[in-house]
Amino acid sequence: MLKERISISLRLTLWFGCAFFAGWVLFGVSMWANLSHTLKGERHQTLDRRLDRLEQLLVKDEGTASKRYQDLAEFAHATGNGLVEVLHPDGTLAYGSPTTAASSFPWPKIQADNPGLFVTVNSDGQPYWVLARSFSLAGHSLVLIAAAPEAGNLLVVENFLWGLLASAPLLLLISSAGGYWVSRRALEPVDRITATARSISIRNISERIPVSQTGDELQRLSETCNAMLDRLESSVNQIKRFTADASHELRGPLSFTRTVAEIALKNPHADEESRVALHDIVDEMAKAAILLEEMLTLARADSLPVALPRTHVDLAWLLKDVCAMAQPIVEQHGLHLIAPKHLSGLMILGDEAALKRLIWILLDNAVKYSNPNGTISVSAKTLAGQTTVVVHDNGIGISPADLPFIFDRFYRADPSRGIVEGNGLGLAIAKWIAETHQAELSVTSDAGNGTRFNIVFADARAPRAQGISTEIPPRQSQENFATVLE
Judge whether 117 and 108 are in contact, CB under 8 Å.
Answer: yes
Helix, strand, coil shares of the chain as percentages rounded to 5?
A: 55, 15, 25
CATH 1.10.287 spans which residues of the chain?
Answer: 217-301
Q: Could you give the CA distance from residue 37 to residue 346 in angstroms, rounded to a whole number?
A: 88
Q: How remote is the C-alpha of 4 from its chain's centroid? A: 9
For 333, other C-beta atoms within 10 Å of its C-beta total 14
397: Cβ–Cβ under 8 A, 6 or more apart, which residues?
A: 369, 445, 446, 447, 448, 449, 450, 451
Three-state secondary structure call for residue 313: strand
Q: Could you give the CA distance from residue 473 to residue 95 in angstroms, rounded to a whole number?
A: 126
Hey, what amino acid is at 231? Answer: R
Q: At what angle do helices 352-368 and 474-484 cross, to 10 degrees?
A: 10
For 2-156, give the CATH class: alpha beta
State the number of CA atoms in the 13 A half-sphere of 143 facing the CB: 24
Classify burial at 94, counting beta carbons within 10 Å of its beta carbon; exposed 0-12, middle 13-18, buried 19 or more. Answer: buried
The pLDDT value recorded for residue 418 is 45
The pLDDT value recorded for residue 341 is 79
Q: What is the DSSP string of 394-412?
A: -SS---TTTGGGTTSTT--
335: Cβ–Cβ under 8 A, 6 or more apart, which residues?
A: 367, 370, 372, 373, 374, 375, 376
Q: What is the DSSP string of 99-162?
A: SHHHHHS-PPPPPSS---EEEEEEETTEEEEEEEEEEEETTEEEEEEEEEESHHHHHHHHHHHH
pLDDT tens-digit readout, 120-132: 888 888 899 889 8
Judge whether 239 and 263 are in contact, CB under 8 Å.
Answer: no
Helix count (H) and strand count (E) of the chain?
12, 13
Q: Could you give the CA distance from residue 242 to residue 246 in angstroms, rounded to a whole number?
A: 6
The pLDDT value recorded for residue 359 is 92
Judge whether 43 and 198 are in contact, CB under 8 Å.
Answer: no
CATH architecture group of domain 217-301: Orthogonal Bundle (1.10)
The pLDDT value recorded for residue 14 is 80
The pLDDT value recorded for residue 353 is 85
DSSP code, position 90: T
Which residues in the chain show pLDDT less than 50? 1-3, 306, 308, 416-418, 462-486
Classify burial at 294, counting beta carbons within 10 Å of its beta carbon; exposed 0-12, middle 13-18, buried 19 or more. Answer: buried
Q: Could you give the CA distance from residue 131 to residue 148 in angstroms, rounded to a whole number?
A: 9
DSSP code, position 202: G
Please tell me the CATH code under which domain 307-484 is placed.
3.30.565.10
Q: Could you give the CA distance from residue 213 to residue 223 in angstroms, rounded to a whole number?
A: 10
Question: For strand 347-350 and strand 311-314, is the pairing parallel, antiparallel, or unpaired?
Answer: antiparallel
The pLDDT value recorded for residue 392 is 92
The pLDDT value recorded for residue 170 is 83
Angle at 400 between CA 394 and CA 406, to 5 degrees: 80
The end-to-end CA distance of the chain, in Å, is 51
The pLDDT value recorded for residue 200 is 81
199: Cβ–Cβ under 8 A, 6 or more apart, which residues?
A: 207
Classify burial at 382, counting beta carbons within 10 Å of its beta carbon; exposed 0-12, middle 13-18, buried 19 or more. Answer: middle
Judge whether 315 and 347 are in contact, CB under 8 Å.
Answer: yes
Q: What is the DSSP string of 187-230?
A: HHHHHHHHHHHHH--GGGTT---------SHHHHHHHHHHHHHH
Q: Could you give the CA distance from residue 144 to residue 52 in angstroms, rounded to a whole number?
A: 9
Q: Could you give the CA distance from residue 108 to residue 115 in angstroms, rounded to a whole number?
A: 11
For 44, other C-beta atoms within 10 Å of its C-beta total 14
CATH 3.30.450 spans which residues of the chain?
Answer: 2-156
pLDDT tens-digit readout, 360-383: 989 988 998 888 888 999 998 888
CATH 3.30.565.10 spans which residues of the chain?
Answer: 307-484
